[in-house]
Amino acid sequence: MLSLEKFEEATEIVNKVTLPTKLVYSEYFSETTGNKVYLKPENMQRTGAYKVRGAYYKISTLTEEEREKGLITASAGNHAQGVAYAAKVFGAKAVIVMPTTTPLIKVNRTKSYGAEVVLYGNVYDEACEYAYKLAAEHGYTFIHPFDDLDVATGQGTIAMEIIKELPTVDYILVPIGGGGLATGVATLAKLLNPKIKVIGVEPAGANCMQESLKNDKVTTLTGVNTIADGTAVQTPGYKLFPYIREYLDDIITVEDSELIVAFLDMVENHKMIVENSGLLTVAALKHLGVTGKKIVSILSGGNMDVITMSSIVQHGLIQRDRIFTVSVLLPDKPGELVKVADVIAKNQGNVIKLEHNQFVSTNRNAAVELKITLEAFGTEHKDQIVEALKVSGYKPKLIRPNL
């Protein structure tokens, strides 16, 4: 059973290895939502995510014999690093099974703590099944990433910190993968103050907990499809489900496209790198439908590789109309390109790429195609540039940028 005494014990124990992640008030998200929004930046935590809390507390409850057997777990990355770090502190061997799709940065950081990494399967569930097999073969002690009440208790220490710092909090938004973090946070929040609303947030392409609540039983999805790799779980925790059912007030799902613009918002307004799973609670803010409330969004982690960051920034700029591509047809005559460039320059557009296709028509004198990729300040500015091209006699056609 999860109890207040266990949460208090866990808080004291995990404080030995966690870094302080004080709430950050967000003027930007407060203004855009009409609430007072605070961020709990667990992306700044040791190992780059909250998972070190549950892993360390769980391992602290094991006997010396259980630790000496060696520890094994399965994880898409953050729990892997938490277990690897905690095992190193306790002087225990750690074997981590990770999906083959795990970002390289998470694999390398897990290895950096001295753990042995085994890549297996395309999703967490396949990696977990293989980890159980290895545990049986070698006698390792299995540390489940979420379906374990001790792990959930460790994760719940986040709620203790939030409520101590902001006792009048109205809403806590928490990401859900398998449900360990949500279970710990929701249970402790309700034990301390039943009036606090705790809302879980899942990616629309991996909403296993939402489906389980709908069916009133743990439900396995046929597949998952989301850029939020840390929450790409097909089956939520069986041990956790009763707590989720009792203490979680609601679940919101968000699309991957919303995570992309949330990443851009976080970088530009808070200068913080937050991984896609950690951005779930930020993307969910506009779905709450409340105003005048004190809301805490838990940013669960910040372990993201540079290539993924680059891709998300590009897609985010495109979604926000900060980058767009327009196609125009013009005669193949000297000076025509200068005329188009002059229209764009007068409207403060910035050309970042040009493609000139002379073979769009058999009559080059009649028309050649010019594809122009531009930077703009946003949708209004983009529309202004397109309208200016129309007024100048061109027939601009918006097409998807190819960066």
Which residues form the catalytic set? Answer: 51, 300
Q: How many residues does the chain have?
A: 403
SS3 track for the chain: CCCHHHHHHHHHHHCCCCCCCCCEEEHHHHHHHCCEEEEEEHHHCHHHECHHHHHHHHHHCCCHHHHHCCEEEECCCHHHHHHHHHHHHHCCCEEEEECCCCCHHHHHHHHHCCCEEEECCCCHHHHHHHHHHHHHHHCCEECCCCCCHHHHHHHCHHHHHHHHHCCCCCEEEEECCCCHHHHHHHHHHHHHCCCCEEEEEEEHHHCHHHHHHHHCCCCCCCCCCCCCHHHCCCCCCCCCHHHHHHHCCEEEEECHHHHHHHHHHHHHHHCCCCCCHHHHHHHHHHHCCCCCCEEEEEECECCCCHHHHHHHHHHHHHHCCCEEEEEEEECCCCCHHHHHHHHHHHCCCEEEEEEEECCCCCCCCCCEEEEEEEECCCHHHHHHHHHHHHHCCCCCEEECCCC
Nearest-angstrom CA–CA distance, 184 and 298: 13
